[in-house]
Structure 1
Amino acid sequence: MTHSTPRENPQTASPIRIGCAGWALSSNVAARFPTQGSHLERYARVFSAAEINSSFYRSHQPKTYARWAETVPEGFRFSVKIPKTVSHELRLSDADAAMSAFLAELAPLGEKLACLLLQLPPSLAFEKSIARDFFALLRDLTSVRVVCEPRHATWFTDEAAQTLIDGKVACVRAHPPPVAGVEPVGDPRALYIRLHGSPRIYYSAYDEPFIEAVAARIVEARDSGADVWCVFDNTAHGEAVPNALMLMEKLEEAAG
């Protein structure tokens, strides 16, 4: 690995992890990556993290997670999306067996598993007892950081924020925001930004001023001691990788 990649700059505070939802590399960005190896191998030579979204739709065999873990450098980390069985079908209730099975599949990731992403359906309103019990279950089952992306307005309240904080669950800063003008609050020890693309979700690229603003927010959070993730999910037309590369360049410039 060369010493020119942004992820190898020494960190002065908490880590910053920049990556994409998945690791597809289109031909228009190929020149920015090594030529040898699988897409994940090449991706992981430049980025320090990736979000595995496919786990939301289907289970993977432990040997698949083991292969991914073996493919990436030692310092690389994965965030893995909790299955829709838990979030959308069980709706966080009676999820013990489903979560235990999911975590057993993930076990081969070892220390390269750094985050679990819980994306809630837009129809799932906040119910304190259900949320509290589910977060307690997660804390009983794993010590891995958990971030939640709620999309119903009832989660954007003081009571919901306190339940997230008490459960040691950080709240995703999503763009476009699910509730306009309101920023969710959770465990302040992590800032997890998910950029879905705007104006056309999953498709649109972000412009340079937007990326510069994200970089400033990341530096502020990092300097306050938070662990920071920024994941680009505008993958449908291949805009995630160029946007993530631009963000790393802006962070390098900010570091001087």
Structure 2
Amino acid sequence: MARIGTSGWVYPHWRGVLYHGDQRGWLDQYAAEFDVVELNGSFYRWPADARFAAWRDRLPEGFEMAVKAPRGLTHARRLLEPEVWIDRVTRGMHELDGRRGPLLVQLHPAMERDDARLDHFLSALPAWIRPAIEFRHPSWVDENVFGMLERHGAAYCVMSGARLPCVLRATAHLVYVRLHGPDHRHLYRGSYSDADLAWWAERIREWEGSGHEVHAYFNNDGEGHAVHNARTLRRLLSA
């Protein structure tokens, strides 16, 4: 079965949609319904190693936390000389242990294709980290780039969202999907229709039928759309 979740979980406007009570209990309530989540706060401020260990101890068995790489690595440095950041990322991911999901590496939208820089970054990652690369610049959509990802066992991040290329490509055992909303003009807005979600369910079944593990995360958090859409997609996949 594919793993379906949301991008982040700390959203006050999800009260009444998924949450009740104090924010301190929200992660437990989330994990009672879903078995994966993207940690997005790590993009803005990388957590201490002890924080990752606390999540490991708190989350239930079988749950996976995907971790978004820090913007210092992806946006400030744009993968240049990544070793210092990789050391910090590795320590945190190591602490997650059995709750460790993929490492999401979202590149800057203005970062054009640079094969040498990406190859160096992927070569420097420990083999036990499962990277998923989200390319926001269209120059990266190229067969040679896909081939590089395949050689490193890195997942191409399949995207759905305004002005983002939706390329249905599997470059690793893991297929990583980010659903940024159906609005054609703005990212992170709107709710996917049942027809849209049925289409994605078919694509996920096709990947699973080819032997892939699929993770899909909804990033249209407004009005609780991500939660509703994740629930619907899971229902469609279980039908």
Could you state the TM-score of these two structures normalised by the residue count of structure 2? Answer: 0.90
Deviation of the 1:90 alpha carbon: 1.1
Correspondence for 1:168:
153
SS of match in other structure, 1:187? coil
Alignment partner of 1:250 is 2:204:
no
Q: In structure 2, do the counterparts of structure 1 residues 30 and 20 end up closer, same or farther at CA, with 3 Å as the change threshold?
A: closer
Superposition deviation, residue 219 in structure 1 = 1.2
Q: CA deviation at 1:24?
A: 3.8
* Residue 114 to residue 81, structure 1, CA distance change in 2 (3 Å): same
Structure 1 counterpart SS, 2:214: strand
SS class of match (1:151): coil
Q: In structure 2, what is the Cα distance between the partners aligned to 1:168 and 1:120?
A: 18
Q: Deviations over 1:208-253 (max 9, x none)?
A: 1011111111111112110100000111332111110111111111
Percent identical residues: 28
Give the Cα–Cα distance (whole angstroms) in 2 for the partners of residues 216 and 185 of structure 1: 14
Q: 1:78 aligns with which of 57, 65, 68?
A: 65
TM-superposition CA deviations, 1:16-72 (whole Å, max 9, x none): 1110112246233248x999x811111111111000011011011222222222222
- Using the alignment, how far apart are the partners of 2:148 and 2:238 within structure 1? 36
Q: Which amino acid aligns with 1:157?
A: D
For residue 174 of structure 1, report the CA deviation from its aligned partner. 0.7
Q: 2:209 aligns with which of 208, 220, 223?
A: 223
Aligned mates of 1:61, 1:50 — CA distance in 2: 19
The structural deviation recorded for 1:206 is 0.8
- The reply on whether 1:207 has 2:193 as its aligned counterpart is yes
Q: 1:229 to 1:34 in 2, by over 3 A?
A: farther
Shift of 1:179: 4.6
In 2: Cα distance, 1:56 partner to 1:239 partner: 22
1:132 to 119, 142, 159: 119
- Residues 54-93 of structure 1 aligned to structure 2 (within 5 Å): 54-93=41-80
Q: How many residues align?
A: 235
What is the letter of the counterpart of residue 201 of structure 1? L
**Does the alignment pair 1:192 with 2:180?**
no
Distance 1:142 1:163 in 2: 15
Structure 1 segments of 4+ aligned residues over 3 angstroms from their partners:
177-180
CA contact (8 A) 1:156 1:184 kept: no
C-alpha displacement of 1:186: 5.3
> Cα RMSD over matched residues?
2.2
| Matched letter for residue 189 of structure 1 | H
Structure 1 residues 177, 152: closer, same or farther in 2, change over 3 A? same
Question: Is the CA contact 2:48–2:92 (under 8 Å) kept in the aligned structure 1?
Answer: yes
Is it true that 1:143 corresponds to 2:143 in the alignment? no
Distance in 2, matches of 1:146 and 1:184, equals 17
Distance 2:162 2:208 in 1: 22
Q: 1:38 is paired with a residue of what secondary structure?
A: helix
Gapped runs of 5+ residues in structure 2? none
5+ residue gaps, structure 1: 1-14
Alignment TM-score, normalising by the size of structure 1:
0.85
Which among 12, 17, 26 is matched to residue 29 of structure 1? Answer: 17
